[in-house]
Structure 1
Amino acid sequence: MSILIKKLSDNKFEITVKKQPITKHIVLLTDEYHDCLTKKKISKKKLLEYSFQFLLDREPNTSILSSFELDIISKYFPEYENEIKKFLYKKIEE
């Protein structure tokens, strides 16, 4: 399984999850939310990659919304933002 990320604009990305069946998702990620979550320590693409891995650890790719704003993840998975912070902390330690 792989996750491909294509930048459509500054805030809009197409994510392809190459797992049968292959799914495509349009995700909006604002600069404000990116900065709030990561303090710009990682790129938007890296945040999206980690976010999709987070989702795929919890549900099949066919259950992920086809179009959404990244901040909605925390409405379904309240632990999401804390997990991002843990991920960033580990990255800084490496």
Structure 2
Amino acid sequence: MADIQVVAVDTLQFKVTVRDRSTTSHLVSVQPAYAQKLTQGKISTTELVKQSFIFLLAREPNTSILQQFDLSVIARYFPEYEQQITLA
């Protein structure tokens, strides 16, 4: 299993480091309204980002994940994302 570290750069951006067979770094932006929609305030945005990477890594290697993206982009590639991440 990959090691996922999430560090808040500021209130909207998070640096994610994924250590697996290869180590990758990603810069993820998260709009507060989108985070609230997905979490309903039950988990932190940092935890949301981590859970989102767990979701992604179940579907593709870390080397295939975009280096910089907005969290809402995941739903374009994986339509089930919002429903599954809300239930997590």
Matches within 5 A, 1:1-94: 1-87=2-88
RMSD: 0.7
Q: Once the two structures are aligned, what percentage of the paired residues are identical?
A: 43
Q: CA deviation at 1:71?
A: 0.3
Q: CA deviation at 1:8?
A: 0.4
Q: CA deviation at 1:53?
A: 0.3
Task: Please give the alpha-carbon distance, in whole angstroms, between the structure 1 residues aligned to 2:80 and 2:54.
Answer: 14
Task: Please give the alpha-carbon distance, in whole angstroms, between the structure 2 residues aligned to 1:54 and 1:47.
Answer: 10
Q: Is the radius of gyration larger for structure 1 or structure 2? A: 1
Q: CA deviation at 1:69?
A: 0.1
**Structure 2 gap ranges (5+):** none
Q: How many residues align?
A: 87
- Point out 4+ residue stretches in structure 1 off by more than 2 angstroms: none
The normalised TM-score by structure 2 is 0.96
The one-letter code of the counterpart of 1:25 is H
Q: CA deviation at 1:20?
A: 2.1
**Structure 1 gap ranges (5+):** 88-94
Write 1 or 2 for the structure with the bigger share of helix: 1
Which residue of 2 is the match for residue 90 of structure 1?
none
